Amino acid sequence: MTESLHTTTTDSAAGNGRPELRKALQDIVDSGVMGVQLRVHDERGRWVGSAGVSELGGTAEPPTDGHFRIGSNTKTFTATLVLQLVAEGRIGLDTPVADCLPEFALDRRITVRMLLQHTSGVFNHTGEYEADGTIVPGIPSTIAGKEWVDKRFHTYRDEELVRLSLSRPARFEPGSGWSYSNTNYVLARLLVEKVTGRSCAEETRRRILEPLGLSGTVVPGTSPEVPAPHARAYYRYEDAGREETVDVTCHNPSWISAGGDMISTTEDLHTFISALASGRLLPAPLLAEMRTPHAASGFGLGLRVQEVGDGGETVLFHNGGHSGHAALMYSTPDGRRTLTAALNYVDDAALSLAEAFQKTQERLVEAVFGGR
């Protein structure tokens, strides 16, 4: 696959030109994010750049071709696999998941669609936030502080994560509400494996990575490594009254599984979201299903839909982040204009950079897709 799915007319590969993008990157760093790398493809060409630092105490900027954990962007890859199986007639979008995964004794009202749209009501195995801000814990995740740090190399099996979730009360009756649950996508991964008889990692490579030439994208399984080059990721926590900060670039991502375990680059995410949006991975009717937002949440099936400001554009996107790495992935519906970005930062149980992350999204999206 070539650098871009569409011909470009200019190439600011070193991050020169486009002063509005360079300023946006600096504003992000000034907000408290350690480092950021950005890639934009549009009618003006390709622009890549970075700002901030690659590691604490260092001076080098993050590599513009660096690898990073893409967090919940993993869900878009998984949803695409599931919908490809729907297109092949191997499963139905409104089929009870229990028909394919009888070993979990799931509520038969939970359908494949509900997993992809987070309307199943299944408890989130990484923990749930109540309306009053209290946390109902699941496994030790990045909202657990020192407990996650101590267990960050532990291996969890997907079946273990699902059974933990199902041991907790459902959030609501299937289909009657909306609640973001990483466990929905663990179930979706198991569904892919049951239907195909192959691992989800193998199916991802066979159906998406190899056809699109995504050589920088990895489904890591239990491997703790991030391929070089990469910026470092950190986590801050309390230990016996002392504040500690530890490098968590390497950890076993089986705790998050298909909720967010994949690794990629801004170039690969550009290629993927552009191919998906432009119809290269799914037939039109299923792509339309993917793009149809739930009324209460704006989530479609592994994608979200957003209108950008006054006079701006409709964009398809998914974002994600955990343990000091985060990723942004946006495209116009025709796949011709994309924004992909990666952040490296100091994470913590309190999600202290959540506001900065939100402003990062808004700043970059407005710069690329806002009214012209």
Backbone angles phi, psi at 362, to 5 degrees: -60, -40
From the list 50, 54, 72, 264, the catalytic residue is 72
Q: Which tokens sit at 215?
A: 């050589």
Judge whether 72 counts as a catalytic residue.
Answer: yes
Residues acting as catalytic residues: 72
